[in-house]
């Protein structure tokens, strides 16, 4: 079977600026030939994923995991190398990103849905499921600013659980809310991830969840590719390197 | 068809997103205030009152039609300033979103422009009865008005696209513009008439300040019943240039913007 995602030797760089760029520093640097410091958040990383596979990504903080997710989500292009994706990736928003406080939960579902790139008809089809899953009841028509943090998280999770595409990019698998909702959301997550029609990439510090879901694991360290193999093999080495 | 940049076509596909963004911002800005959407009418009215008090009562200047001459220019200026200065911050204030999902950046300045334009239309409805009260000459030249509005819309959107990117490159542009906009307004014939500018400087004045010809044209078609100032052609050319360059600059700067906000 052909690869659904093919990552070929990519690199992503950030320009380091000492302080915030403003007109003063710009004018000062205009005449000086400044040696721009470039920081590579990711370099020489390659891998392929087939349909239905679940790729776990591990690495210490600042190793480039989130940058990898952003490039896969087409938020920006890599500065080097190439990515080919056959399908539409959707990022799971970290819960509540993009919520407008003055709007009701209901309106936020609509806004969030179209922002994620779904047609408003698709959002409308799913909206009842989202409301039911969130267990917000009549609160759904209250402004989000009146929600408790648990309620916002529940709404955020419910949107993510029903509005996603064939390729899912997940930054930390989490359960949210109180104990019963946590159990319910974790079960939903598991159902989504293990659906064979879906290709999933999970970035996580929680090695248990990586081990539970991933069919293979990519280890990156300090922006560099370390290893790509079966979960047990990679995690064994990764844990050793950590201790 | 090649005349319409690719970027504009892509944005038109996102009209649902723009619609929801505009509706949500309208609600956020006006809901929960006692007078709500009435502020769209009251804001420009109060601002005009301040200037009328200043010019007519303190400086003892301005003729009988001064309030409508001023208002014709003032609502156009408020539209421009509101749209462009909000565009300056729009990528930063939507930073979290821009960093998390693949959304075309052009929708954000278009959103602020739709809001600015809506406020302009609201304030124009205040101007209409005033034109009759202050005895404006209304004839067929009024048909120029929608054309002038269309040209300004083009100019303001183009300018906003460029400003949106510039605002990310230079974080203190916001402070500079707060001051520059004020100066620019006093430098434009809103509080005074174009005839206040000495004849020998008038051409150069009209060339370097696009708002000179625009304000003069609004006053002509709305109050005097005469055709627009001919320098409006220059304004149109600048408008087309800005709207052509702006969207391309956003596309080109996307990696920088996403990493920086």
User: A53-97 pLDDT, tens per residue?
Assistant: 999 999 988 888 888 998 998 888 899 999 999 988 887 766 667
Flag if A97 and B171 touch (Cβ within 8 Å): no
Residue A24 in domain:
yes
Q: Max alpha carbon distance in chain B (Å)?
A: 56
**A contact residues 11-70, partner B, Cβ 8 Å cutoff:** 14-15, 20-24, 26, 70
Q: What is the pLDDT of residues B98-117, one digit of tens each?
A: 988 888 899 999 999 999 99
**pLDDT at A15 exceeding the cut of 50:** yes
Q: Does residue A29 belong to any structural domain of this protein?
A: yes
Give the pLDDT of residue A38: 83
Task: Tell me: do A123 and A67 sit in the same domain.
Answer: no
Residues of B in CB contact (< 8 Å) with A are 16-17, 20-21, 24, 27-28, 31-32, 96-103, 169-173, 176, 254-255, 258-259
- What average pLDDT does the segment A217-238 reach? 92
For chain B, say whether A116 makes contact (Cβ under 8 Å).
yes
Q: What's the confidence (pLDDT) of residue B1?
A: 42
A185 domain residue, yes or no: no
In a domain, A227, yes or no: yes
Q: Would A197 be classed as within a structural domain? A: no
Instruction: Choose from A72, A75, A121, A163 for mutation: most chain B CBs within 10 A.
Output: A75
Domain membership of residue A69 (yes or no) is: yes
Flag whether pLDDT at B135 surpasses 50. Answer: yes
Contact A76 B255 (CB under 8 A): yes
C-alpha–C-alpha distance, residues B246 and B248, integer Å? 5
Tell me which of A132, A163, A194 is where a domain ends.
Answer: A163
In this structure, are A60 and A98 located in the same domain? Answer: no
Domain count, chain A: 2
Q: What beta strand segments (E) does chain A contain?
A: 3-16, 37-50, 54-58, 80-85, 89-91, 167-171, 199-203, 216-221, 224-229
Contact B171 A22 (CB under 8 A): yes
pLDDT grade, residue A150 (50/70/90)?
Answer: confident
Percent of chain A with pLDDT over 90: 43
What's the CATH number where A74 sits? 3.40.50.300
User: CB distance B16–A120 less than 8 Å?
Assistant: yes
Contact call for residues B141 and B177 (beta carbons, < 8 A) = no
pLDDT value, residue A237: 93
Query: How many other C-beta atoms lie within 10 A of the C-beta of residue A27?
Result: 9
Q: Which residue has the tokens 């909000």?
A: B86
Q: Residue for token digits 């974080």?
A: B171
pLDDT score recorded for residue A238: 92
pLDDT of B97 strictly over 90: no
Which residue in chain A has the smallest CA separation from B100? Answer: A93
Residues A143, A103 within the same domain: yes
DSSP state, B141? G
E strand intervals along A76-137: 80-85, 89-91
Mean pLDDT for the stretch of residues B174-199: 93
Q: CA A111 to CA B20: how far, in whole Å? A: 6
pLDDT of residue B58: 84
Give the model confidence (pLDDT) of B61-90 as tens digits.
878 899 999 999 999 999 999 999 999 999
Between chains, do B170 and A79 touch, taking CB under 8 Å as contact?
Answer: no
- A111 and A84 both lie in a single domain: no
Q: What tens digit of pLDDT does each residue of A170-197 get?
A: 887 666 778 888 889 889 888 988 888 8
Q: Which domain holds residue A122?
A: 93-163
Best B10, B251, B255, B257 residue to mutate vs chain A (most A CBs within 10 Å): B255
Q: ipTM > 0.90? A: no
When mean pLDDT is compared across A86-100, A210-224, B89-103, the lowest value belongs to A86-100
CA angle B240, B242, B248 (to 5 degrees): 110
């Amino acid at each position: 079977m052909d690869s659904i995602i093919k990552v070929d030797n990519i690199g992503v760089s950030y320009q380091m600026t000492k302080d915030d760029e403003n007109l003063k520093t710009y004018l000062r640097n205009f005449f000086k030939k400044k040696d721009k410091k470039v920081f590579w958040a990711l370099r020489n990383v390659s891998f392929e994923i087939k349909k239905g596979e679940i790729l776990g990504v591990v690495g210490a903080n600042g190793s480039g995991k989130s940058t990898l997710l952003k490039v896969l989500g087409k938020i920006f292009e890599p500065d080097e190398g190439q990515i080919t994706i056959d399908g539409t990736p959707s990022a799971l928003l970290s819960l509540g990103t993009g919520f407008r406080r003055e709007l009701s939960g209901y309106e936020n579902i609509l806004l969030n849905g179209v922002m994620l790139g779904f047609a408003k008809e698709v959002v409308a089809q799913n909206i009842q499921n989202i409301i039911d899953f969130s267990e917000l009841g009549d609160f759904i028509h209250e402004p989000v600013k009146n929600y408790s943090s648990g309620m916002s998280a529940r709404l955020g999770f419910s949107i993510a659980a029903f509005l996603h595409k064939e390729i899912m990019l997940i930054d930390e698998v989490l359960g949210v809310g109180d104990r019963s909702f946590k159990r319910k959301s974790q079960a939903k997550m598991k159902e989504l991830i293990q659906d064979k029609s879906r290709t999933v990439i999970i970035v996580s510090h929680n090695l248990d969840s990586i081990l539970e879901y991933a069919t293979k694991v990519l280890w990156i360290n300090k922006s560099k590719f370390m290893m790509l193999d079966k979960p047990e093999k990679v995690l064994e080495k990764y844990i050793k390197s950590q201790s | 068809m090649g005349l319409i940049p690719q970027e504009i076509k892509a944005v038109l596909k996102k009209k649902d997103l723009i619609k929801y963004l505009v509706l949500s911002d309208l609600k956020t800005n006006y809901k929960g205030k006692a007078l709500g959407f009435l502020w769209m009418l009251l804001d420009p009215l109060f601002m005009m009152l301040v200037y009328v008090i200043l010019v007519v009562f303190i400086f003892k200047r301005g003729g009988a039609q001064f309030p409508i001459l001023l208002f014709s220019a003032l609502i156009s200026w408020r539209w421009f300033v509101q749209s462009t200065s909000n565009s300056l911050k729009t990528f930063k204030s939507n930073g979290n979103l821009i960093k998390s999902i693949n959304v075309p950046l052009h929708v954000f300045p278009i959103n602020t422009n739709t809001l600015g334009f809506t406020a302009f239309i609201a304030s124009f409805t205040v101007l209409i009865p005033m034109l009759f009260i202050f005895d404006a000459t209304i004839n067929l030249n009024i048909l120029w008005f929608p054309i002038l509005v269309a040209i300004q819309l083009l100019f303001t959107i183009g300018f906003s696209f460029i400003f949106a990117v510039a605002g990310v490159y230079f974080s203190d542009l916001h402070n500079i513009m707060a001051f520059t906009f004020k100066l620019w307004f006093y430098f434009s014939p809103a509080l005074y008439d174009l005839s206040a500018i000495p004849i020998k400087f008038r051409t150069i004045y009209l060339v370097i300040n696009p708002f000179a010809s625009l304000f003069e044209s609004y006053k002509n078609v709305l109050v005097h019943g005469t055709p627009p100032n001919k320098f409006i052609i220059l304004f149109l050319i600048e408008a087309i240039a800005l709207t052509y360059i702006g969207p391309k600059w956003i596309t080109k700067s996307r990696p920088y913007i996403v990493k920086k906000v």
